[in-house]
Amino acid sequence: MPSPPCPRFFAHGRPSRRRLLLGTLVLIVLASIVSNVALAWKLHRARTVEKVRAWRSCRKLSMQHILYDRALALARADGRRLVVIGNPTGGYVDRHVQVYGCGDICIDIAGCRPCGHETRVLAADALEALRTLPDDSAVVFESEVLEYVVDLPAVIRELDRVTGGDHTRIFSVHTISIDSWRYHTLGLPAPPPDEKTVQHRRQERRRYARTGEGLARRIIYRFPPRNRYAWTDI
């Protein structure tokens, strides 16, 4: 009598337990490899982002130090007072390592620290403080303050007045969302920020505001002494 077809079918057509275990093991190994690759990429990306942020911070500190020294040298050479806008110890790093000085007059709404008795400190809004200074009397160093003032055109008019209308007597540092290091050192034109950058800064400014820096109102992408101010409101 011939053998029934079903046992033969299952004997040759159904995978053995060994094959099932081997297939399962292969799937687990592949899933593990994919997972590890994805994790490694995320870690690499996170480290790269942190390196970029750290490098940008270093560039900003370098520009602050270099341009403050240039402003100070020009003020002394021309017999003018050096006006600093922005607390020299207002940033996270600056609290521990002072990168630039107080000048002859230091303006910051929260005051300037630590400044010696030789510096006149004006703990006031930048616009109101500038209005108290004589015409054509100063060289100005300002660092990342004008992003936050309410009436920037009015502040610029006051800066023009106290510097005699010469924008090369203003030394500025503005590094948020642009590659201003190349702008400073190579003179490469700084284009207006694109919409993606504006949207990103619009979202990030609330996080910055929680650190006590205030709510940024604009991105300044061209500035003295290389150019007159140009900005995009956010």
Domain coordinates of the chain in residue numbers? 54-233
Give residue 60's pLDDT: 77
Give residue 135's pLDDT: 98
Instruction: Please give the share of the chain, as a percent, with pLDDT higher than 90.
Output: 40
**What's the pLDDT band for 175 if we cut at 50, 70, 90?**
confident
Give residue 25's pLDDT: 80
Q: What CA–CA distance (Å, rounded) separates 234 from 223? A: 17
Q: Are 169 and 138 in contact (CB under 8 A)?
A: yes
0.85 exceeded by pTM: no
Of 56 and 206, the structure prediction assigns the larger pLDDT to 206
Phi, psi of 53 (to 5 degrees): -65, -45
Q: What CA–CA distance (Å, rounded) separates 100 from 94? A: 9
Tokens of 24: 């399962």
| 3-state secondary structure at position 121 | strand
Give residue 205's pLDDT: 79
Does residue 139 register a pLDDT over 90?
A: yes
Of 18 and 187, the structure prediction assigns the larger pLDDT to 18
Beta-carbon contacts of residue 86 (< 8 Å; ≥ 6 apart): 107, 108, 142, 143, 144, 145
Pick the range with the lowest mean pLDDT from 27-36, 52-61, 141-150, 161-170.
Answer: 52-61
CB atoms inside a 10 Å sphere around CB 163? 22
Q: What CA–CA distance (Å, rounded) separates 122 from 92? A: 22
Tens of pLDDT, residues 27-83: 888 877 877 676 666 655 544 444 445 555 677 788 888 899 999 999 999 999 999
Give residue 167's pLDDT: 95
- On average, the pLDDT of the chain sits at 81
Q: Are 139 and 82 in contact (CB under 8 A)?
A: yes
